[in-house]
Structure 1
Amino acid sequence: MNLEFYKNQAALKQKDHKKFLDQLKKKPPKNLDYKVQETHDEVFSKIDCLQCANCCKTTGPLFTEKDIERISKHLRMKQADFEAKFLRTDEDNDKVLQNLPCWFLNADNTCSIYEVRPKACREFPHTDRKKIYQINHLTIKNTAICPAAFEFVELLRKNLEK
């Protein structure tokens, strides 16, 4: 997977993508949620996240209290110890990883806590959301990180033109 190519393409097409997504917000097609899910499924039938894992290498997820509770239990750690070892509080007062790449990313791009991973990781890159236009800023941001998010925006545009 050529991450540099996708990063460059995302930068080149950022204005076009933003314009397209803004149009969806102004006047969402009636079948948008269906088209979004269909497009998401199509993209992920072709892209294997294990070939990339750029999200795990470059962006840290937000950890909710439920995530912390679930993961620390899974690791048989006290929540306070888990937080002290792996997390920090950022400028928005959110709990995030102290360092990147993610502590739980294995050498083969698998996740050592996959079954109990944070909600943010389960939902990334958020391309199967209903009312996707509510997260346009996030979708644009994710196209620079995630090849699947970039391909999703490109394909959604084509699918909505049909």
Structure 2
Amino acid sequence: MQEISKLREETALKTPEWKKFFNKNKQRLMKMDKEIEQLHHEISSEINCLECGNCCRSLGPMILEKDIDVLSRSLRMKPSDFMEKYLRKDEDGDFVFQSMPCPFLGSDNYCSVYENRPKACREYPHTDRMKFYQIYELTVKNASACPIAFGVLDRLTKL
């Protein structure tokens, strides 16, 4: 497991290099989705998310209306009650959890709503998606919490 404080330090050191790489290679990155997806799978196979859990402790996912419906149904709650108990609107007007860590994260890093988790959680850290170049900056931000995002960026800049 990589401690989040160490990961944040390493990310801060690497960020200028990663940003420089993006600025010099944006056109190239537009054609590298298959290579980046391969990096994602390689690095994901090396990291056990259950030993980390940094994302669930420190990053608040955006909760969509569909997520609210699915989660409230799975918890046998009315959507309005779910929203009142668990959600708030952030500065962008998006629904997020009222507090972090995630209210559904157990002490063992297991998610109690895993089968019904929000879309943002299912897709995190987003390093295997098409048009990766569009979320490159988000990945740089996520690298401070996620060893997978960090690893993808670190190996990508060496290709």
Is this a same-fold pair by TM over 0.5? yes
Corresponding residue of 1:20: 21
Q: Which amino acid letter does the alignment assign opposite residue 134 of structure 2? A: Q
Once the two structures are superposed, residues 49-101 of structure 1 have per-residue CA deviations (whole angstroms, 9 ceiling, x without a partner) of 10110010011110000000001000000000000000001111100000110
Give the length in aligned residue pairs: 158
Corresponding residue of 2:102: 102
For 2:99 and 2:29, locate their aligned partners in 1 and report how far apart those are by CA, in whole Å: 39
Please, which runs of 5 or more residues in structure 2 have no aligned partner? none
Corresponding residue of 1:46: 46
For 2:57 and 2:34, locate their aligned partners in 1 and report how far apart those are by CA, in whole Å: 31
| Identity over aligned pairs, percent | 50
Q: How far did residue 147 of structure 1 move?
A: 1.3
For 2:100 and 2:30, locate their aligned partners in 1 and report how far apart those are by CA, in whole Å: 39
Corresponding residue of 1:132: 132
Corresponding residue of 1:11: 12
2:36 counterpart of 1:36: yes
Q: How far did residue 123 of structure 1 move?
A: 0.9
Moved over 4 A (4+): none
TM-score (norm 1): 0.93
What do you get for the CA RMSD once the two structures are aligned? 1.2
